[in-house]
Structure 1
Amino acid sequence: MSVMTPTEFLGGAVPVDGYGPGFFRVGGKVHHGAVIVTETGMAPWAGIDDHAALLALAGKVDVLFLGMGADVAFPPRALAQALEAADIMAEPMNTPSAARSYNVTLSEGRRVACALLPI
């Protein structure tokens, strides 16, 4: 299991604490499978074809980090276009990088979310 470096989070914001094969620990709770994490908590995510869950973040976040699994991959064109149309700035990267980037950006007090596919 990879454990994230502890840091200070404003107002009780919820960080990604760690991850491992097929699971994430967020705010001290373990979830198996894909997740969406925001400053208020974690929710299960049906995965890359679940556009609605990501589009629900419109107007609530400044950036969405997309953790695409163990390797860097681009999201499917339809998803990228839907996010762009909803004015959601999405940054695809591998899942470990997305989790770290989410935590750093969250610690800066910014409106951020991450959608993470398991590794």
Structure 2
Amino acid sequence: MAMRPTDFAGAVPVDGYGPGFFRVADKVHQGPVLVMQSGAKDWGGLDDRAPLLALAGQVDVLFLGMGAEIARAPADLVAELEQAGVMVEAMASPTAARTYNVTLSEGRRVACALLPV
């Protein structure tokens, strides 16, 4: 799938993370978080699929942070998102946050859903 450029102005990167939290745009989010170019919101984790599916048409790739260690994303979740047009890249949450920030800075249409470390 081709990645389409977007306007980077006002984009929201992940500022930091620690045990059980993520900091985005100077706001601390306890637990899982979904970060998009427009901002961040608390997320219910892997079973909370509606916010991820709502990304269809808005992002090309979702970086899925699986926690402190790399793990496979649930195959049915990946299939459901890919059918909706959202490619999924699963990795450890710190790596997903960094990859999201770099790819976002390149002006790409990306988001990240992060499970706490």
Question: Structure 1-normalised TM-score?
Answer: 0.90
Runs of 5+ consecutive residues of structure 2 not aligned to the other structure = 1-6
1:83 and 1:69 map into 2 onto residues whose CA distance is: 19
Amino acid at match of 1:82: E
1:87 aligns with 2:88: no
Q: Paired residue for 2:46?
A: 48
Amino acid at match of 2:57: G
Tell me the CA shift for residue 33 of structure 1.
Answer: 0.6
Q: Paired residue for 2:109?
A: 111
Tell me the CA shift for residue 10 of structure 1.
Answer: 3.0
Q: Percent identity?
A: 66
1:80 and 1:103 map into 2 onto residues whose CA distance is: 22
1:12 and 1:86 map into 2 onto residues whose CA distance is: 26
1:42 and 1:31 map into 2 onto residues whose CA distance is: 9
Tell me the CA shift for residue 15 of structure 1.
Answer: 0.5
Length, aligned pairs only:
111
Q: Return the structure number with greater relative CO, CA threshold 8 A, min gap 6.
A: 2
Q: Paired residue for 2:99?
A: 101
Question: Structure 2-normalised TM-score?
Answer: 0.92
1:81 and 1:63 map into 2 onto residues whose CA distance is: 13
2:92 and 2:113 map into 1 onto residues whose CA distance is: 11
Q: Secondary structure at the match of 1:106?
A: helix
Amino acid at match of 1:50: D
Moved over 2 A (4+): none
Amino acid at match of 1:27: A
Q: Paired residue for 1:74?
A: 72
How far does the alpha carbon of each residue in 1:44-72 deviate from its partner, in whole angstroms, 9 at most, with x for none? Answer: 10001111110000010011100000111
2:97 and 2:8 map into 1 onto residues whose CA distance is: 17
